[in-house]
């Protein structure tokens, strides 16, 4: 069963925050995303139930192997698509917003083709 966009967003956020600090709490996720504590709590609960996230006794969140895999995939898509759109001439703020929408819906085949194209273009610079 494919993961919903919101689940991917939460995993990506936990991944980003864990790159900045080894201690990530639900409250940090909520602040980063601008979501309420109950919304984050519900989402984290679902992610735990589905095996993507664990938490310790102090409430610190960690991505499981499968959670990390999804988070890295979404993060790579976000950063590559943002860069790709900026190179096309889209301003950074709009490129970031659009990449955030695209990263959840683009097929693996299309994303890989865009990556190959971007790499060819980079080699010519």
In the chain, what are the domain boundaries? 5-69, 74-124
Q: What is the average pLDDT across 38-43?
A: 94
- Asked if the domains 5-69 and 74-124 are classified in one and the same CATH topology, the answer is no
Q: What is the average pLDDT across 84-99?
A: 93
Residues 6+ apart with CB under 8 A from 61: 14, 18, 24, 25, 26, 29, 44, 53, 54, 55
- pLDDT tens-digit readout, 23-35: 999 999 999 999 9
Residues in the chain: 125
- Sign of the dihedral through C-alpha 12, 27, 54, 5: negative
Q: Which carries the bigger pLDDT value, residue 15 or residue 6? A: 15
Instruction: Please give the class, per CATH, of domain 5-69.
Output: mainly alpha
* pLDDT above 70 as % of the chain: 95
Question: pTM for the full model?
Answer: 0.85
pLDDT given at position 124: 56
Average pLDDT score over the chain: 91
Domain 74-124 CATH (choose: 2.60.120.280, 1.10.60.10, 2.40.440.10, 1.10.8.640) = 1.10.60.10
């Amino acid at each position: 069963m494919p993961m919903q966009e919101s689940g991917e967003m939460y995993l990506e956020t936990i991944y980003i925050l864990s790159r900045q600090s080894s201690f990530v709490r639900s409250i940090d996720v909520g602040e980063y995303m601008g979501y309420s504590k109950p919304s984050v709590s519900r989402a984290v609960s679902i992610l735990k139930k589905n095996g993507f996230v664990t938490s310790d006794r102090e409430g610190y969140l960690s991505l499981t192997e499968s959670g990390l895999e999804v988070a890295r995939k979404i993060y790579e898509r976000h950063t590559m698509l943002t860069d790709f759109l900026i190179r096309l001439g889209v301003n950074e703020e709009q490129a970031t917003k659009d990449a955030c929408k695209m990263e959840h819906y683009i097929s693996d085949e299309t994303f890989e083709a865009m990556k190959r194209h971007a790499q060819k273009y980079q080699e010519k610079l």
